[in-house]
């Protein structure tokens, strides 16, 4: 028994993906494993112009300590974009800038979760959320995800069965499946939740990356006081700056989140906040986003074509309408973990499904990322994967 470390860290799973990435980094490998945006999404030249401008024009401010809530003009920009895209009435006071939306997960866990509290998450669910919430020792309950979104019967059953603190969802182009909740599914979830005090997180790093430009409505539609939206610039500008945000109209919750963030890191990197704010104000982000969308649409199409051509016909695959991932299910009994090691021998990698399940009970699913390989590499990688499946 290791008594040197806290129970909470000993119970927290390591990120399987980071472990895989360590292996794949050292080899010349076709990787469908990571969740890396394509470097096309980093507008490096324009960011450099912004960097020069803020250094020349903002004096010492980008170098000084700053407020926990975040840079006000950036929060105003985010609030205005919610209004423009979704007709949501939110103000800068409803936005807390976080160090990536990953920090949002940690802060929500800190503020809401006592040991043993029930948290509902999707099945399969984002493993970064499973890892982050694990530190607060909740009881996880996974709700099945299907082609239309969350299984609403199961959702209702679980809400009736016990007091649920928190519900975590990724309704747009979900990580890991690429699935998107239908409008009817969103409405049904909102109807069910109106009878319960649980807080609903809609984590939305991919919402702007729909292949056809469609923007889906939020489940909460900005009306539920218990609705919390997460956003991030990681997938549309750069993940390296670590700029994300939490949006909520619940003032009490916001005030606790600010306290938790103060205790964690005082504030998010203020240089990055000035930089992203300047970039957003000087450029039309939607022109930039449309380039990313059309690239990812092509890459996803190339992967699906190759899968249709090479994979055995009894393998199932999701057909994403946006985002960065698709989800493959092998016939029952076939282990993707075994396949993973065989695939590595052929210099191709993916993430086996297990870490996306709280009990790690799925053996025949896997996540494939298509955003960070050329069409030729996608074709070659899928061919090799099919070779080890047979
Ligand atoms: N939520 C989801 C669903 C994600 O896929 C990711 C990135 N993989 C994150 C949050 C974290 O993103 P970031 O901290 O870079 O904003």
| Distance in Å, CA 332 to ligand 1 centroid | 30
Q: How far is the CA of 226 from the centre of ligand 1 (A)?
A: 21
Q: Please state, rounded to an integer, the average pLDDT across all residues of the chain.
A: 94
Centroid of ligand 1 to alpha carbon of 205 (angstroms): 6
User: Which of 298, 251, 299, 289 is CA-nearest to residue 93?
Assistant: 251
With tokens 């000087």, the residue in question is: 282
pLDDT band for position 85 (50/70/90)?
very high
Which numbered atom of ligand 1 lies nearest the CA of 234? 15
The answer, yes or no, to whether any atom of ligand 1 lies below 6 A from the CB of 248, is no
Tell me the sheet residues that pair with 140: 119
φ/ψ (deg, to 5) at 328: -115, 135
120 within 8 A of 155, measured Cβ to Cβ: yes
- Asked if the model's pLDDT at residue 17 lies above 70, the reply is no
Domains (range + CATH), the chain: 10-43+287-389 (3.90.1150.10), 45-282 (3.40.640.10)
Residue 169 or residue 20, greater confidence: 169
ipTM score: 0.99
Neighbour count for residue 375 (Cβ, 10 Å): 15
Considering only CA atoms, which of 98, 96, 115, 218 is closest in space to residue 169? 218
Taking the CA of residue 235 as reference, the ligand 1 atom at the shortest distance is 15
* Tokens of residue 105, six digits: 């997960």
Q: What percent of the chain has pLDDT over 70?
A: 95
* Under 8 Å between Cβ of 340 and 352: yes
108 CB under 6 A from ligand 1? no
Query: From edge to edge, which strands make up the β-sheet containing 118-123?
Result: 95-99, 243-248, 227-232, 199-203, 164-169, 118-123, 139-146, 149-150
Residue 51 has what pLDDT? 98
Q: Using the predicted structure, report yes or no on whether residue 182 has a pLDDT greater than 70.
A: yes
Check whether the bond before 124 is cis (ω within 30° of 0). yes
Phi (first) and psi of residue 245, to 5 degrees: -160, 160
Distance 98 CA to ligand 1 centre (A): 12
């Amino acid at each position: 028994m290791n008594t040197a470390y806290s129970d909470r860290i000993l119970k927290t799973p390591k990120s399987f993906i980071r472990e895989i990435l360590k292996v794949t980094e050292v080899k010349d490998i076709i990787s469908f494993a990571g969740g890396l945006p394509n470097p096309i999404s980093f507008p490096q030249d324009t960011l450099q112009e912004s960097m020069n401008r803020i250094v020349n024009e903002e004096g010492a401010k980008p170098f000084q300590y700053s407020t926990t809530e975040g840079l006000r003009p950036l929060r105003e920009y985010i609030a205005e974009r919610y209004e423009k895209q979704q007709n949501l009435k939110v103000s800068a006071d409803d936005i807390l800038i976080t160090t990536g939306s990953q920090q949002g997960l940690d802060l929500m866990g800190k503020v809401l979760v006592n040991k043993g509290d029930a948290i509902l998450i999707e099945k399969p669910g984002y493993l970064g959320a499973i890892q982050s919430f694990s530190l607060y020792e909740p009881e996880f309950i996974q709700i099945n995800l299907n082609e239309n979104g969350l299984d609403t019967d199961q959702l209702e059953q679980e809400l009736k069965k016990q007091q649920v603190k928190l519900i975590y969802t990724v309704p747009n182009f979900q990580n890991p499946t690429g699935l998107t909740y239908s409008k009817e599914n969103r409405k049904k979830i909102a109807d069910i939740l109106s009878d319960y005090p649980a807080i609903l997180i809609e984590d939305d790093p991919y919402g702007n990356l729909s292949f056809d430009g469609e923007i889906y409505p939020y489940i909460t539609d900005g009306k539920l006081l218990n609705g919390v939206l997460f956003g991030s610039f990681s997938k549309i500008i750069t993940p390296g700056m670590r700029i994300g945000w939490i949006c909520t109209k619940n003032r009490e919750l916001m005030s606790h989140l600010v306290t938790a963030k103060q205790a964690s890191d005082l504030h998010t990197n203020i240089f990055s906040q000035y930089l992203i704010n300047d970039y957003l104000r000087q450029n039309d982000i939607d022109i930039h986003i449309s380039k990313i969308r059309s690239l990812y649409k092509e890459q996803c199409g190339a992967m699906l074509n190759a899968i249709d051509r090479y994979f055995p016909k009894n393998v199932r695959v999701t057909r994403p309408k946006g985002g960065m991932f698709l989800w493959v299910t092998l016939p029952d009994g076939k282990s993707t973990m075994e396949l993973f090691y065989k695939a590595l021998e052929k210099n191709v990698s993916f993430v086996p499904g297990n870490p996306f399940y709280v009990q790690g009970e799925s053996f025949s699913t896997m996540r494939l990322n298509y955003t960070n390989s050329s069409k030729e590499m996608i074709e070659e990688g899928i061919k090799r994967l099919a070779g080890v499946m047979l």
